[in-house]
Amino acid sequence: MTKFDFLSDLQKPWHYMDVDRVLATLESSAEGLSYVNARQRLRFLGANKLPRSRPIGKVLLQPFLDPLTYILLGAAIFLQWNGAEGWALILVGGLHGVIGVVIALWSIKTREKVSRDRPQRRQHTPSNSVIVLRDREEMEIPSRDLVLGDILVLKEGDRPNVDLRVLETSEGLRINQTNLGGDAICTKQADLTFEEKTPPLECSNMIYAGTEVSSGTAKGIVIATSRFTQEQAALIKEKPFSVMHSELRQLRQVWIGLLLLVTTTAIGFAWQRSITINAMTAAALIVSTYPQNLLRIATQVQLFGMRDLAKQRIWARFPSTLDAIARVTTIVPIVESDVVLSFDNLSRAGIEWRGLIRASEDDAEAFSRVIGIETHSYFEAPQERIRQWQGERLKSAQAVAVIGNDVEDIPLLRTADVGICDRTCCKELQDSAGLILPKEDFHYLPIAILEGRAIFDRLQRIALLTASSSFTLAILTLMDTAAGFSIPPLQLIWVGAIATPLVAFPLILEPTHENLLLQPAYRFQTMLRPSNYLRILLAVTATITAISAVFWLKYQGQASLFSEARSMAFITLGFSQIFHACAIARRSVFGNLPLLLSISFVSICQIVFVQFPWFSDLMATIPLSGIEWAIALLSATAVFWVQELIKTG
């Protein structure tokens, strides 16, 4: 056993031990470590540095660390060796990998921009130097040199980056644990011990990294550093990035389930007809219908929203705040009895105001009659009241926002889906809020709600377009197999993996549409609602009907017309994605330059793939006449008119 082997296994319940046992376990003392011993421990354990958040090198290496990359590469090599178009799989996989890396790097830059532009820079980072006991004397050292067993001295305003077992406290010690989800003001005592399974934030003999000393002083022994602190453990176990990310993951599961169903059914048809299903077609279908980079795009869209709000001096602290503010149906300000209220009428947006007043219930009723909104007493079970408003319609995903202005309001802000305060409030309240307004003015709320709805709307339209394209390709492959045909794999790859993402991505760059604040609130509750499934069904039905009509009217069972019919079907399929994007865009195509450029590029490629000999051979098409082009293009508009009818309805 080497000298510091006892430091290699420190997952111990320190809150369960008394002070003497903690000091003995860490081979330390209340007078601190010696300078030599501390330096030896530092060499053994390494510097007390927090993990870097996704360095650029790790982002660039991510595609090479993903097992799916090598599965795709192996499948492509096997297919190319057997005479199929495996090179196309490598090309598309590389293209989407590069796009994913670009979006990830873009997200890093946007995060930095949000941090610079946010209206109040309150970085919760620890100081670069700390005071410790070394050789029985207080000395100042860099925080990165802290080691297990060090005795750290804390004073008012300090934010430690290590976990501590408390040894001594002053009489007025107060710790702010809001950054970790704990109480805003709590006391600490050294002589207490707790049951082994006590939740960390309920242990008042511990001070954790990420907290702040609001008042008083304390001494504690370092029991966790770097990535082993409670703060870092909480970050690792945190919930998904946002509700929308969770819904997109569910949608992706539906995609995968559909692919498995279609592939299995196609194999069944092929076996029944005693033919071998084209492995390249199956690989192309998977690559073309899998929602590549959709979650990264969602992250970038939310960061765009946080950046835009920061420019207007509104700080959304987390992306999940934007999700919740888009779903808000009830806003609850906590007011004083002599306050003068001025707020916007949001009833057309499906949002109602309800109040909590620091007065009796009788005064609250009188106040309610004067201002015209439902108001209740702040002193009569306010948390239960908020939960009641949250649960009035259990089948929906509605959210309640609470606006607080006092440290006593922190429990209510945490009970609500969105906690809101302004920059004049105390720092404990701001640490507990998700949305921070530049000043005490309710007129900023419609701006934040509109931005949240715009983010939801952009992601929803991208998901609808991508899902409709994927389901269309899957069903067409199934129909082709059932009919004894084989859809060219390169056509699947072009439409699903290249053309559709090209016309869908510009939708995230559209400016915020003011009309969103006048739409019903239920449209922003969840993406996974029946009306969206119906929209996908109608879009897929319209596209497949148009393609089938073009193909069969031209083919009519004559083998000599098969190539013309397939080429016309390919044109209809490709241009359907363009018309679908035009139909769901909030602004005119000519008002969205990225969308106009994408549509132009895809249209030119469609023409080249059909009319130019080398490309037409590659895509298994033949040149068509002007009338045949006109018929195919007119048929492709079917999905556009269906979407227009949906808007009218």
pLDDT bracket for residue 274 (50, 70, 90): low
Give the pLDDT mean for 392-409: 75
Each residue's pLDDT tens digit, 347-367: 888 888 998 988 888 888 888
Give tens-digit pLDDT for 445-473: 999 999 999 999 999 999 999 999 999 99
- 167 with 221: CB under 8 angstroms? yes
| Higher-pLDDT residue of 487, 628 | 628
Written as one string, the DSSP assignment of 401-436 is EEE--SGGGHHHHHHSSEEEEETTS-HHHHHH-SEE
Pick the CATH number of 5-48+146-236 from 3.20.20.100, 2.70.150.10, 3.20.20.140, 3.90.190.10: 2.70.150.10
Read off φ and ψ for residue 220, nearest 5 degrees: -150, 155
Strand intervals (E) in 431-513: 435-437
CATH class of the domain defined by 315-437: alpha beta
The model's pLDDT over 590-637, given as tens digits with 9 standing for 90+, comes to: 888 889 999 999 999 999 999 999 999 999 999 999 999 999 999 999
For residues 289 and 341, the model is more confident at: 289
Contacts of 247 (CB under 8 A, 6+ apart): 526, 527, 528
User: What is the tens place of the pLDDT at every residue in 244-256?
Assistant: 888 888 888 887 7
240-299+457-648: which CATH topology? Calcium-transporting ATPase, transmembrane domain (1.20.1110)
The pair of three-digit structure tokens given for residue 357, joined into one six-digit string: 């007043």
pLDDT confidence tier of residue 275, bands split at 50, 70 and 90: low
The whole-angstrom separation of Cα 295 and Cα 432 is 27
Least confident of 90-94, 196-200, 624-628: 196-200
What is the mean pLDDT of the segment spanning 212-217? 86
pTM: 0.81
CB 473 within 8 A of CB 492: yes
**pLDDT value of position 427:** 76
Residue 323: pLDDT band (50, 70, 90) is confident
Give the residue from 175, 255, 178 showing the smallest Cα distance to 217.
175
Sorted by where each begins, the domain ranges of the chain are 5-48+146-236, 240-299+457-648, 315-437
* The pLDDT value given to residue 122: 45
Rounded CA-CA distance 212/220 in Å is 14
In tens, the pLDDT along 518-573 reads 888 888 888 888 888 999 999 999 999 999 999 999 888 788 889 999 999 999 99
**Dihedral, CA atoms, 66, 72, 74, 75, nearest 10 degrees?**
160
Structure tokens at 319: 């992306």
DSSP 437: E
Secondary structure letter of residue 133 according to DSSP:
E
Over residues 378-392, mean pLDDT: 83
pLDDT of residue 3: 67
Instruction: Locate 206 and state its tokens.
Output: 């511990």
Neighbour-count burial of 323, counting CB atoms closer than 10 A to its CB (0-12 exposed, 13-18 middle, 19+ buried): buried
User: What is residue 338's predicted lDDT score, i.e. its pLDDT?
Assistant: 65
User: How far is the C-alpha of 323 from the C-alpha of 242, rounded, in Å?
Assistant: 7
Q: What mean pLDDT do residues 12-37 have?
A: 85
Q: Give first-to-last CA distance, the chain, whole Å.
A: 77
pLDDT in tens, 124-158: 445 578 888 888 888 888 888 888 888 888 888 88
pLDDT-based confidence at 395, cuts 50/70/90? Answer: very low
The pLDDT value recorded for residue 57 is 66
Strands 218-224 and 151-154: antiparallel
Query: Over pLDDT 70: what percentage of the chain?
Result: 90
Q: What is the DSSP letter of 394?
A: T
Reply yes or no on whether the pLDDT at 238 is more than 50.
no
> For the chain, what is the total number of helices (H) and then of strands (E)?
23, 15
Position 124 scores a pLDDT of 47
Pairing of strands 418-422, 435-437: parallel
Higher pLDDT pick, 481 / 401: 401
Q: Stretch 47-70: mean pLDDT, rounded?
A: 71
Give the other-Cβ count within 10 Å of 178's Cβ.
24
The residue type at 461: R
Q: From residue 506, give the alpha-carbon distance in Å to each of 142, 384, 509.
A: 47, 44, 5
- Note whether 397 and 244 are within 8 A (CB): no
Find the largest Cα–Cα distance for the chain.
Answer: 97
Alpha helical stretches, state H, 118-242: 230-236
